[in-house]
A and B are shown apart, each in its own frame.
Chain A
Amino acid sequence: DAGVIQSPRHEVTEMGQEVTLRCKPISGHNSLFWYRQTMMRGLELLIYFNNNVPIDDSGMPEDRFSAKMPNASFSTLKIQPSEPRDSAVYFCASSLGGEGRGYTFGSGTRLTVV
């Protein structure tokens, strides 16, 4: 099992550009989560999906952020337009769902917006 795979590992972009982060969950997992981590705010849950359907996007900071899960094996988090304050490490996690189930996290994407 390759675990949760995120790409790219590092992304440097200019302010105003569109950024797309990608995530491949563990095969068979039916829940997928996007988190953002900064020194100031720690780990924040942005959005999560269950069976490819967005369940809670209350953590998405603003309309510039959007997430999709077109199928069970792929999800994207898009920022358009990007701003320097979006600089953070973005983690994707997946789970089999239900109580008593742990999450498996990817290695994260370190985004720097200059």
Chain B
Amino acid sequence: DAKTTQPPSMDCAEGRAANLPCNHSTISGNEYVYWYRQIHSQGPQYIIHGLKNNETNEMASLIITEDRKSSTLILPHATLRDTAVYYCIVRVDRDKIIFGKGTRLHILP
């Protein structure tokens, strides 16, 4: 199973872009990269996913390296409400998602 590695915590100033890295060097060709976040006391929230190409939606952008061994989640203009734990996940099975420890992102006013 492909595993992911994320820094345990990061800080970002409010209004700046938050760039959250993730390593997944053993990812296989048909596995997607997913990002979720969990704001305190809430259920995890889906953010974005991608296979090979970069992706953007109303919440964030996902940049996947050409060799697919790492990716970066970008929150373009971080606000205090973006303070959360961010999980990078590689889908190991068609219908199952396993969460790791994630990155605790602190947005500083």
User: A residues engaging B (CB < 8 A)?
Assistant: 4, 31, 33, 35, 42-43, 45, 48, 50, 55-56, 91, 93, 95, 97-100, 102-108
Q: Are A48 and B43 in contact (CB under 8 A)?
A: no
Closest A-chain residue to B31, C-beta based?
A: A99
Contact B34 A102 (CB under 8 A): yes
Complex Cα spacing A98 to B96, Å: 10
Q: Is the interface of B mostly helix, strand, loop or mixed?
A: loop
Interface, chain B (partner A; CB < 8 A)? 30, 32, 34, 36, 38, 42-46, 49, 51, 91, 94-101
Q: Are A45 and B32 in contact (CB under 8 A)?
A: no
Q: Considering the chains assembled together, what is the distance between the CA atoms of A102 and B100 in angstroms?
A: 16
Chain B residue nearest to A97 in the complex (CB) = B95
Additional pairs, 7, CB under 8 Å, beyond known A4-B43, A99-B32, A102-B46: A33-B96, A42-B99, A42-B101, A55-B95, A97-B95, A100-B51, A103-B46
Chain B residues with CB under 8 A of A104: 46
Which of B44, B95, B99 contacts A48, CB < 8 Å?
B95
- Contact present for B96 and A100 (CB under 8 Å): no
Specify which of B36, B49, B97, B100 lies most central, judged by the most chain A CB atoms within 10 Å of its CB. Answer: B97
What residues on B are CB-neighbors of A95 within 8 Å? Answer: 95
Taking the closest CB of chain B, its distance from the CB of A11, in whole angstroms, is 16
Question: How distant is the Cα of A105 from the Cα of B7 in the complex, in angstroms?
Answer: 24
The residues of B that contact A35 with a CB separation of less than 8 Å are 99
**What is the bound-complex CA distance between A91 and B38, given in angstroms?**
12
